[in-house]
Structure 1
Amino acid sequence: MLRGRWIGVLLLCLVVAGVFAWLGQWQLARAIDTDPPPPGATEQVRPLTDVVEPGQYLPEPLGGQKVTTSGEWVAEDFIVISSRFNAGVEGYWVTGQLRVADRTSIAVALGWAPTREQADAAADALAGQGATEVELTGRLIDDEGVELPPADDVFALTRMSPAALLSQWHDVEQLDVYRPYLASLTAPAGLVDIDSPAPEEKSPVNWLNIFYAAEWAIFAGFAFYLWYRLAKDAWEREVEEFEDAHA
């Protein structure tokens, strides 16, 4: 182990172990949230513009945050989404495009209906009111992603996705859109309030990152074991060769 060759290998293992130790420290730093949001923070109503900007992803701690905003409905864009559950019962959501600023919109889930007929009737009633001004309070929720529609109805939607709704909205040229959508806390006439409970409080400790940090520490230790094992194997070969030559 004191030969120059094996001292060089040891130095290489020290570099590798140092890199692994740094990665472990990085994972450990990410494992503990030193500034978690206070309990009940999502239940404090905040202005929409203070929480997220158009086109930005919703930060994880702010998922389900109650916000308030005002704007004008686009009368042509009340769209029904199927496969929506309210207190375990399957039904439909009526959604709309709310213009909260010049060339800026957010997708809103207004309310739930148990049948398609009721949802369509509510959407038609809202469209008949025209471009009305409203003030809304609701929860910000991440985009659910898009899903391929059935072949017999290419406009059918089963997920609340602002990106998918944007493809069916009107007057969208140069339009800024919020990535999350707003689930209104109060439904308009003809619809039922959407069941949107407060999000569960998350632990400030991320155990998965702690597990990764422990893995990096094991890898660092393995680098030294590998050096010891290689050196010992070389020594054992030399001993065997010496004994064979002596014999």
Structure 2
Amino acid sequence: MIGVFVLLVIAAVVCVQLGAWQLDRSLERGEAGARAAQEKMLAAPKRPLDEVLAPQSQFKADHLGAKVEATGTFGDQVLIPNRLVDGQSATLIVADFVISEGPAAGAHLPVLRGWVPADRAGVRDGSAFGLEDPALTPPEGVQTISGFLANSEQESTPSRIPGTLTHLSSAQLVGLWGNPIYTGYLVADATRGSLTVAPPPDLVKDSGRNWQNLGYAAEWFIFGGFALALWAKMVRDEARHQQRDREASA
């Protein structure tokens, strides 16, 4: 009987270890899949924006990182200060891009044109500064731009400082630019002036675990739990049997 107990305990320990290994594998495979998706995203050809996403339509998971191009004109700009980009304190420069061609003509596309160090633009003494810098102004006239689609950030408390936002949120921008507006935004892959191009969406950073390995991990944990439950039942049964023997011999 003791040998059976030992075997069950060993089986439970092995199952838990195998489950933990599968959890690690699920993370590794999830990150590997995300890296492959990131490489595919960067190498993908450009597609017309209206073939991928329409104004005021739901931004879905497969829209993230799509490489698109659009034609239109730049409008007003806003600043999003207090960001960290490539380890530097930065301010994002976001512009209204009004589509001029196709079925979405007249729609507003938020464009992350790039970023500058926080001392070039942002908030100082309760006021925005930097928007008047000619080096940060967008080009005039009809432009064709390209970049990667990203999901609108979650809306938070609106900024009380004119010319700034707390997040790159279409819900906040619609109050400034009006409808129709895209629910996502474009991370421009090229810029001008003293702006630095913002990094494309990071699919690896937001990657999850591989579901197949998660399933295997759950199975091993269940097997381990079953072995422990069986061990506990055998211990209880043995205790009851010994109790009955003592009562019978009394």
- TM-score normalised by the chain length of structure 1: 0.61
- Distance in 1 (alpha carbons) for counterparts of 2:196 and 2:130: 14
Q: 1:63 Cα deviation (Å)?
A: 4.1
Given that 1:78 and 1:95 are in contact with CA atoms closer than 8 Å, whether structure 2 keeps it comes out as: yes
Contact 2:135 2:194 in 1 (8 A): no
Equivalent residues in 2 for 1:228-247 (5 A)? Answer: 228-247=231-250
* Alpha-carbon distance between aligned partners in 2 of 1:149 and 1:198, rounded to the nearest angstrom: 24
Does the alignment pair 1:194 with 2:197?
yes
Which residue number corresponds to residue 66 of structure 1?
67
Hey, what's the Cα distance between the residues in 1 that align with 2:212 and 2:161?
44
1:146 paired with 2:158, answer no
Q: Which residue of 2 aligns with 1:5?
A: none
Letter in 2 for 1:157: L
Question: Any conservation in 1 of the 2:170–2:183 contact (CA below 8 Å)?
Answer: yes
Calculate percent identity across the aligned residue pairs.
Answer: 19
Using the TM superposition, give the Cα deviation of residue 240 of structure 1 relative to its aligned residue in structure 2, in angstroms: 0.9
Name the structure 1 match of 2:166: 158
Do the aligned partners of 1:143 and 1:160 also contact (CA within 8 Å) in 2? Answer: yes
CA contact (8 A) 2:68 2:149 kept: yes
Deviation at 1:52, TM superposition (A): 4.2
Alignment of 1:26-41 (within 5 A): 37=37, 39-41=39-41
Contact 1:42 1:198 in 2 (8 A): no
Mapping for residues 95-244 of structure 1, pairs under 5 Å? 95-99=95-99, 101-102=104-105, 104-113=107-116, 114-116=120-122, 117-122=129-134, 132-149=141-158, 153=161, 156-170=164-178, 172=179, 175=180, 177-188=181-192, 190-196=193-199, 199=202, 206=209, 210=213, 213-244=216-247
Query: What is the CA–CA distance in structure 1 between the aligned matches of 2:219 and 2:152, rounded to whole Å?
Result: 34
Matched residue type, 1:91: T
Q: Which runs of 5+ in 1 are unaligned?
A: 1-23
- Counterpart amino acid of residue 165 in structure 1: L
The alpha-carbon deviation at position 38 of structure 1 amounts to: 8.3
- The aligned length equals 207
Which residue of 1 is the match for residue 16 of structure 2? Answer: none
Cα 1:80–1:205, aligned 2, differ >3 Å: closer, same or farther? closer
In structure 2, distance between residues paired with 1:108 and 1:214 = 42
Q: Quote the RMSD (CA, aligned, Å).
A: 4.3
SS of residue matched to 2:166: coil
Q: In the alignment, is the contact (CA less than 8 A) between 1:45 and 1:68 conserved in 2? A: no
| C-alpha distance 201-240 of structure 1, shift in aligned 2 (>3 A) | closer
Q: Which runs of 5+ in 2 are unaligned?
A: 1-21, 123-128
Q: 1:195-230, CA deviations, whole angstroms, 9 ceiling, x for partnerless residues?
A: 42685768x994687356314421234135414532
What is the rounded CA distance, in whole Å, between the counterparts of 1:108 and 1:198 in structure 2? 13
- Look up the SS of the partner of 1:217 in the other structure: helix
Aligned-partner Cα distance in 1 for 2:81–2:208:
37
